[in-house]
């Protein structure tokens, strides 16, 4: 991976709220047989039918800009949900066509995923500036393909708390981390019954501690969420409280991922 080249962030604390809209593609990528398991896929339906409208309403009410990274396959499957995101003035980013990880593909397969995803997303928005891969995984060709297809930024790396430019590619990186992702804390899978689902209160404390420490360094908090996970009622309440707390912090700037990346190019 490229050596980090810092960009000038003016020592400004930043918050970018992101939602990974992966719906059915998440489970189909894990196991194609999940297409025949309506109970498993009902989690995706909850995300689309209940959580996305609730998140859009909350972001509008709190005046919080947000970026939705959408799988192209899910955009084709749920066009009305993606139209609602775009109509609300929220940014739409690329999250693969399927939810397959780039490191499992050849360069040709990965490029096809990027192109097919762009085709699907461009039915809903004129500009797709950012890319977040499934599970934040890259292949050896990923950065070059992103540059070839005109992306302005990536939001996948866990090697910094400030945005930076990739040394050999004209891309801004908006760093992420599992601490600030809902999935590691809340994800549950029946293949691993020993994993405990954390309470909303525990996760709120983790997010506040990490966010405050990053902001004290003048860094970027990239909050990463998934509708089917964060969209449970108690977690939506926790998210509202976290965003209200963050909005009360003096000197904190909130923007979409695309707007922040554009300001740093």
Residue 82, domain member (yes or no): yes
pLDDT: which is higher, 37 or 113: 113
Q: Looking at residues 220-245, what average pLDDT do you find?
A: 97
Residue 3, domain member (yes or no): no
Confidence at residue 3, expressed as pLDDT on a 0 to 100 scale: 45
> Which structural domain range is residue 48 located in?
12-264
Residue 47, domain member (yes or no): yes
Residue 7, domain member (yes or no): no
Average the pLDDT over each of 30-39, 63-72, 252-261 and give the range with the smallest value.
30-39
Dump pLDDT digits (tens) for 69-113: 999 999 999 999 999 999 999 999 999 998 988 898 899 999 999
H-assigned helices in the chain: 23-30, 38-46, 52-62, 72-77, 79-87, 107-121, 142-148, 182-186, 200-216, 227-230, 233-247, 257-264
Q: Which token pair is 44?
A: 């995706």
Query: How would residue 190 be classed by pLDDT, with cut points 50, 70 and 90?
Result: low
The CATH number of the domain where 117 resides is what? 3.20.20.370
Average the pLDDT over each of 25-29, 109-113, 150-154, 233-237 and give the range with the smallest value.
25-29
Query: How would residue 181 be classed by pLDDT, with cut points 50, 70 and 90?
Result: very high
Cα→Cα distances 90→66, 69, 85, 140, 218, Å: 6, 11, 6, 31, 25
H-assigned helices in 78-157: 79-87, 107-121, 142-148
Average the pLDDT over each of 66-70, 189-193, 236-240, 257-261 and give the range with the smallest value.
189-193
Q: Looking at residues 208-216, what average pLDDT do you find?
A: 98
The answer on pLDDT for 9 being more than 50 is no
Spatial distance between the Cα atoms of 178 and 192, rounded to a whole number of angstroms: 19
Query: How would residue 191 be classed by pLDDT, with cut points 50, 70 and 90?
Result: low
Confidence at residue 193, expressed as pLDDT on a 0 to 100 scale: 62
Average model confidence (pLDDT) across the chain: 92
Strands 91-94 and 253-254: unpaired
Residue 4, domain member (yes or no): no
Residue 121, domain member (yes or no): yes
Query: How would residue 4 be classed by pLDDT, with cut points 50, 70 and 90?
Result: very low
Confidence at residue 192, expressed as pLDDT on a 0 to 100 scale: 61
Residue 30, domain member (yes or no): yes
- Unique residue bearing structure tokens 């954390």: 198
Q: How many domains does the chain have?
A: 1
Residue 5, domain member (yes or no): no
Name the residue among 28, 29, 86, 17 with its Cα closest to residue 58.
Answer: 17
């Amino acid at each position: 991976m490229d050596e980090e080249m810092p960009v000038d962030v003016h020592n400004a604390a930043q918050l970018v709220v992101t939602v990974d809209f992966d719906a059915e593609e998440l489970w189909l990528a894990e196991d194609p047989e999940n297409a025949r398991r309506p109970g498993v896929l009902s989690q995706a339906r909850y995300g689309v039918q209940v959580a996305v409208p609730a998140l859009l309403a909350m972001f509008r009410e709190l005046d919080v800009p947000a970026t939705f990274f959408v799988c192209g396959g899910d955009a084709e499957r749920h066009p009305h949900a993606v139209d609602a995101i775009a109509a609300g003035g929220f940014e739409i980013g690329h999250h693969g066509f399927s939810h397959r990880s780039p490191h499992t593909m050849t360069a040709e397969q990965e490029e096809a995923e990027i192109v097919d995803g762009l085709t699907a997303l461009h039915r809903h928005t004129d500009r797709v500036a950012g890319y977040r891969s499934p599970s934040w995984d890259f292949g050896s060709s990923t950065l070059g393909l992103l540059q070839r297809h005109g992306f302005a930024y990536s939001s996948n790396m866990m090697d910094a708390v400030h945005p930076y430019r990739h040394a050999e590619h004209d891309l801004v990186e908006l760093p992420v981390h599992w601490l600030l992702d809902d999935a590691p804390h809340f994800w549950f899978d029946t293949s691993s019954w020993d994993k405990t689902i954390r309470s909303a209160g525990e996760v709120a404390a983790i997010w506040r501690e990490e966010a405050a420490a990053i902001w004290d360094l003048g860094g970027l908090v990239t909050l990463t969420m998934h509708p089917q996970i964060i969209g449970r009622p108690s977690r939506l309440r926790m998210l509202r409280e976290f965003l209200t707390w963050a909005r009360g912090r003096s000197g904190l700037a909130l923007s979409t991922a695309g707007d922040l990346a554009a300001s740093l190019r």
